Amino acid sequence: MTDKIIEAVLKAVDDSFGVKTQISLVKADPKFGDYATNVAFQVAKDIGKSPPETAEAVIAKLDLGDAGSAEQKGGFINIKLSDSALASELNQATLLPKIGEHKLALVEFGDANPFKDMHIGHLYNTIVGDGISGLFEAYGFSVKRLSYHGDVGLHVAKWIYGVGSEIDFDPTKFTEALSSGGDDPLGYFYARGEKAYTESDEAASKIKEINKHIYAQDDPKINEIYRLGKETSFEQFDKIFALLGVHYNKRYLESETASIGKKLVEENIGKVFEKSQGAVIYEGEAEGLHTRVFITSNDLPTYETKDLGFAVAKDKDYPNAQKSIIITANEQSDYFAVMLAALSKIKPNLAKVTVHLGHGFLSLKAGKMSSREGNVYTAQTLIDEVKKAVETLYPDSPAKHDIYISALRYELMKHKLGSDIVFDINESISLEGNSGPYILYAHARARSILKKSDKQPSPQNKFEPAERRLAIAICGFRQAADEAFEGLKPHTICNYLFGLAGEFNSFYETNRVIGDDREEIRLKLISAYAEILKTGLGALNIPAPEKM
């Protein structure tokens, strides 16, 4: 509908002044109209008239058909949708264009490294990734959720050193050693190795030696400890993914992509890469980037090389993806710019569809959780805390699971990606304010009203002012969703839903539904409202139970 209006306005501008331009339609202050455009300001100067005169002239030529009417105020052209146009809009308010039909999108996220903790940053990353995946699915894409893990590299050697020095590198003592690492053996032994690495040269060289054995796989004891540690790690990761309801299509490992990438880099030395000080590097300065090492002077591939191999591996498994999104913390943004620059010279078609999406740093609001000083909070700890808080606040709810999942997911997606965010557990589970449970409650309440009535929702071509206001708000979904999808900004959906719920509560406060003369049309509004809440939450993979 808005497309048709924009078209009509542009035609009127062209007819009046022979000017071709571009405009957007914004939601107007309700006292002025439903939508507004400032096109008169844009063209007024060129045609030598004041904005109000220009707007009047445009309106004189404007043919909106039965879509609505327009009037000028202070240079703005305010458009009011006709009731019939609004009614038909309302009927298709939940529909999103299936522009991804028969198209494939790859989304990579949740790349926690085995042998290390899955901390709250990984949790954030995982939820954002699954949300972006859901958004693409809502627009009809077939989405493959992929994870990628650094199962080789110095951090692994540090961990093996940490545990190995305790059990004298005897794999049979591994299980016993795990229990001595407390409730978080992975983090515990990694921290030990890390400490030794920085504090002792002897340990550092031993760790580097272990690292070589890991790549070469030529030491049976190290191989076995490695296998056990990796198994333990992924068991933990899978437990968390299952808790969150995240379903991956495929897990990739750096140990698999390393050789593919290394071959690719070696083939392109002198073309894309240069040798320097014994290492193989990519010089990005000419493109405004920086230089990065792809193969070390010890002849080991770095993360960048493995990522090149990963791009190829993904393409082999899922050829012709229209979009490949990589989601990481934004500390890796510059890194990805270099990696993608190198990729664009080797596999331009792959680089073209690849987008890196960076998110900010997640911290927790100071509270009881900060008692574990010096520790990074693990994903599991935060999940447990939120779950526990939900059980206390909603002891009788039949939907506790959905509530705590929604609390987590909503809280992490309601902020614009890229900025650092502070997670407040109490706020995340509260029914007051901009929270997941608030939206869930709004949805459950609407469903309950619909269930209670014995009449059927029925559209009508005439709205009372309060009804049309709600209807307009409901029809805003499409725009919010498009913005979220096109700009990879899930938070626009959260903010929209929160605003919509506020509109509804305000409406519901003074407009009786059941038993009113206008029950059918109001039920229609409520049903559309409930569907929008469910669809919007669903697009971000947030559950919306019927009761809570």
Site for RNA in 297-336 (CB under 7 A): 297-298, 300, 302-303, 330-335
Q: Which is nearer to RNA, 228 or 431 (CB)?
A: 431
Residue 506, token pair as written in the block: 């305000």
Say whether residue 78 binds RNA (CB under 7 A).
yes
Q: Residue 25: left (phi > 0), alpha (psi -120 to 50), or beta?
A: beta
Say whether residue 234 binds RNA (CB under 7 A).
no
Site for RNA in 521-540 (CB under 7 A): none
State the DSSP code for 429: H
Q: Which of 133, 233, 381, 397 binds RNA (CB under 7 A)?
A: 397
Amino acid, res. 421: I
Amino acid, res. 352: K
Say whether residue 543 binds RNA (CB under 7 A).
no
Per-residue binding letters, 335-374, with RNA (x by CB under 7 A)? x-------------------------x-------------
Q: Which of 448, 456, 458, 461 binds RNA (CB under 7 A)?
A: 448
Q: How far is the CB of 52 from RNA (least distance, A)?
A: 11
Sequential DSSP letters for 36-93: EE-HHHHHHHHHTS-HHHHHHHHHHH---TTSEEEEEETTEEEEEE-HHHHHHHHHTT
Say whether residue 424 binds RNA (CB under 7 A).
yes
Q: How far is the CB of 31 from RNA (least distance, A)?
A: 7
Alpha carbons 235 and 114: distance in angstroms, whole number: 10
Which of 97, 127, 160 has the alpha carbon at shortest distance from 244?
Answer: 127
Say whether residue 254 binds RNA (CB under 7 A).
yes
Q: Which is nearer to RNA, 380 or 434 (CB)?
A: 434
Q: Which is nearer to RNA, 302 or 324 (CB)?
A: 302
Q: Which of 62, 272, 421, 439 binds RNA (CB under 7 A)?
A: 421
Residue 73, token pair as written in the block: 């105020």
Q: Which of 202, 373, 432, 454 binds RNA (CB under 7 A)?
A: 432
> Does residue 152 contact residue 162 with C-beta atoms inside 8 Å?
no
Q: Which is nearer to RNA, 167 or 405 (CB)?
A: 405
Q: How far is the CB of 45 from RNA (least distance, A)?
A: 6
Amino acid, res. 328: T
Q: What is the dihedral of CA 116, 121, 126, 129, to 10 degrees?
A: -130
Segment lying near RNA (by CB under 7 A), choices 147-155, 159-167, 345-353, 374-382 = 147-155
Say whether residue 291 binds RNA (CB under 7 A).
yes
Say whether residue 508 binds RNA (CB under 7 A).
yes
Which of 120, 117, 234, 126 has the alpha carbon at shortest distance from 182?
Answer: 117
Which of 540, 545, 542, 543 has the alpha carbon at shortest distance from 137?
Answer: 540
Q: Which of 232, 344, 430, 460 binds RNA (CB under 7 A)?
A: 430
Sequential DSSP letters for 163-216: HHHHHTT-GGGHHHHHHHTTT-HHHHHHHHHHHHHHH-HHHHHHHHHHHHHHHH
- 68-73/76-81 β-pairing: antiparallel
Alpha carbons 319 and 144: distance in angstroms, whole number: 12
Q: Which is nearer to RNA, 16 or 434 (CB)?
A: 434
Site for RNA in 400-419 (CB under 7 A): 414-416, 418-419
Say whether residue 114 binds RNA (CB under 7 A).
no
